[in-house]
Amino acid sequence: MDIEKIIETVAEKAEEVKEAVAEKVEAAKETVAEKAETVMEAVEEKAEAAKEAVAEKAEELHVAAAEKTAEVTEAVAEKAEEIAEKAEEKAEEVAEKAAEKAEEVTEKAEEKVEAAAEKAEEAAAKAEEPAETMADYTAELEASYKKGPPKADDPTWDKFEQMLADKTVFEVKVDSVVKGGVVAFVDEVRAFIPASKLAAGYVENLDDYKGKNVEVIVITADREGKKLVLSGRDVARMKARAAKAAAQEAVQVDSVLEGTVDSLKDYGAFVTLEGGMSGLLHVSQISYKRVEKPADVLNVGDKIKVKVIGNKDGKISLSMKALEEAPAREKRERPERERRERSDRPEGERRERRERRDREESFNYTESGKATTSLGDLLSNIKLGE
């Protein structure tokens, strides 16, 4: 074969190979471009899906955070309200104890004033009473001389002394009226009842008691001086205290009674109840609305209906507020969007969300797919012809 022919053949073959390679390269370029476009579309789709997922999760987290914030805010508000209520109850308790203490002090002061008035009355009666002379007791002295001095074992005076020790209550008949009191006889022994000891209160006219029976106790039994002094006031007051205790015991807690406002103080009002008992209506028990002073809403003489909320140690506690309907606690409104979303969700979903929220401490987003545009990955599935 001729050298020129061989060279010509080789050149032709090379030209054919060159054209084939060019065609292959062009086809590969087109395939790579198509593959790259497909990959980019896939990457864009995955990126869009990831953005949507992140946005949805962020929205869920936002809603969960809003719910949690609302719950925490409501819990804090409720706790603050509880603390405020306890503080108010404590303040009312302190104020009520102060009122009771003030009432006790007032009662003791009244007792002292009354005792001082009695002593003044006795002193005035003694001042008005003329000095007794021997002539006033001539008959008694003559009888006493005949009998002689009282014996140490005189059963009559033994009896009087025992009655004094036992505070025995017995009845005597007023025989006569003298300056400063009245006279009665007990086992033929003259006994004196001072005017201030005749009855529970002040006696203006002693003559009204002449011939009447009076329950008394012995308050002085002087054997040597033959002095027997009686008191009807002590018996009357004992009976009055017993009657008051019985009447107070009859006042049942939770009972609703009618009463009359007797007096007004800054800390409350004293109310006279049916049956004559008196109770304290503390200022905090007048109404659910704030009352600065009882005088702002009550007047002496007002007829009111009250509920007994306490009866202890001689003190009756009353309440008007207990007869009112307690105001409803205000409900805190959630944001409109949150309320709408909550109401649209089924109960099961809401419960599941709450449980999931409690379990999740934080949120980390991961994507299981893989998106890459490396040349090796782009050409991995391209096969070139032999």
For the stretch 114-137, pLDDT in tens is 666 566 655 654 554 444 444 444
- The Cα 49–Cα 356 span in angstroms is 23
- pLDDT at residue 264 in the model: 92
Question: Could you tell me where the beta strands, DSSP code E, fall in the chain?
Answer: 170-178, 181-186, 189-194, 213-222, 227-231, 256-264, 268-273, 278-282, 303-312, 315-319
H or E element that contains 147: helix 138-147
Instruction: Classify the phi-psi angles of 28: left when phi > 0, otherwise alpha if psi is within -120 to 50, otherwise beta.
Output: alpha
Closest residue by Cα to residue 132 from 39, 227, 54, 40: 227
Q: How far apart are CA 332 and CA 74, in angstroms?
A: 8
At residue 359 the predicted structure's pLDDT band, cuts being 50, 70 and 90, is low
Using alpha carbons only, give the angle 84, 87, 326 rounded to the nearest 5 degrees: 60
Residue with tokens 């205790």: 245
Q: For the whole prediction, is pTM greater than 0.75?
A: no
Q: To which residue do tokens 């471009």 refer?
A: 33
Residue 187 CB-half CA count within 13 A: 11
**Closest listed residue to residue 173, CA positions, set 129, 235, 232:** 232
What was the pLDDT predicted at 379? Answer: 47
Q: What is the dihedral of CA 236, 241, 247, 252, to 10 degrees?
A: 180
Tell me the pLDDT band of 218, cut-offs 50, 70 and 90. very high
Which tens digits make up the pLDDT trace of 172-189?
999 999 988 999 999 999
Q: Are strands 315-319 and 278-282 parallel, antiparallel or unpaired?
A: parallel
* Pairing relationship of beta strands 213-222 and 181-186 according to DSSP bridges: unpaired
Q: Name the band, by pLDDT with cuts 50, 70 and 90, for residue 298.
A: very high
Write down the pLDDT at residue 215. 94
Contact 206, 182 (CB under 8 A): yes
Strands 278-282 and 256-264: unpaired
Average confidence (pLDDT) over 377-384: 48
Query: Which pLDDT belongs to residue 118?
Result: 62
The predicted model gives 267-275 an average pLDDT of: 89
Q: How is residue 280 written in tokens?
A: 């304290």
User: Would you say residue 360 has pLDDT above 80?
Assistant: no
- Of the spans 74-88, 332-346, 355-369, which averages the highest pLDDT? 74-88
Mean pLDDT of the chain: 77
Whether the per-residue pLDDT at 42 is higher than 80: the answer is: yes
Q: DSSP character for 122?
A: H
Report whether 360 contacts 61 (CB < 8 A).
Answer: no
What is the predicted pLDDT for the residue at 124? Answer: 52
Q: What is the pLDDT of residues 191-206, one digit of tens each?
A: 999 998 999 888 889 8
Contact 63, 384 (CB under 8 A): no
Higher pLDDT, 89 or 38: 38
